[in-house]
Amino acid sequence: MSKTDLIFSGMVFETFIIIIAIIVLVLAFLKLKEKKQKLTFYLFIIFLFMTISIIFTWLSKVLQLYSGLDYLVDDLVPDPETITSWFLLRITEFRFSFVFLMIAIFFSYILKVNLFAKGYNNLHRIIVILYGTIGIGYIFFVFFKGELLFDLIAFLIVSFYMFVIYFPFMKSCFSASKAVEQSVYKRAFYSLVVMGLSFILILVCQSIDRILIIVLDIFGYTPFYFAGWTFAIIALIGAYLGYIRPKSKE
């Protein structure tokens, strides 16, 4: 397949994911209106920023295919270094997607604290905020057009943040599922375990895809790219089935 065909296939694939994400987001909003609970609000915010992140990855492909700007497609074409190119290049290189993903991860940390802890551990909170702030700073400002290594580092920054937040989150959800007897509550906690694991695997797969691009000197869109976004679908549907659907009580 040509480079254009690969980008187009990625755009189409992400279109379906966005449709599913928006459906789940609307259902989450309806559940929020019904329950008006803080935890439901945090879950809705997580889905909102995750959906925005996916939309920006889709927009990166739209820009490469239809903007007519050579510097967005060809690494050999220099950056015109305008305000417009600053934003467009960071869209096409997924930097905006990463930022919204980092915000979603931070709200996942807040959700975990409110679900399982009596209050914030001040040291943990400082580390989470500091890492997120430095990570977002790197994602936005450490950028060199065509240098894939810096893109890989950005992937790894987000992946590590995702892991250190969601792994304890998953452990807590799994332990909580064992401590309750009602099937509705068990299903809710299991769904959050599936959501957390799937979100981690999104970044793991995308990072592997990026590593293969560098090592094999290929354009990308390996099976790991499609696997990563497949986990996004699993995460969204899993959370909906157990937590957001109308019969859920928690």
Mean pLDDT by 10 residues, the chain (250 residues): 86 92 88 82 90 94 94 89 95 94 93 84 93 96 88 90 90 85 80 87 87 83 88 81 55
**What pLDDT is stored for residue 242 in this prediction?**
63
Would you say 203 and 162 are in contact if contact means Cβ atoms under 8 Å apart?
Answer: yes
**What pLDDT is stored for residue 245 in this prediction?**
59
**What pLDDT is stored for residue 36 in this prediction?**
78
Q: How far apart are CA 86 and CA 80, in angstroms?
A: 9
Q: How does DSSP assign 155-181, residue by residue?
A: HHHHHHHHHHHHHHHHHHHHHHHHH--
**What pLDDT is stored for residue 219 in this prediction?**
76
Three-state DSSP state, 42 = helix
Alpha helices in the chain (DSSP H): 3-35, 38-66, 83-92, 95-116, 122-141, 148-179, 183-216, 223-239
**What pLDDT is stored for residue 138 in this prediction?**
96
CB half-sphere exposure, 30, CA atoms < 13 A: 12
Domains of the chain: 3-244 (1.20.1070)
Would you say 47 and 35 are in contact if contact means Cβ atoms under 8 Å apart?
Answer: no
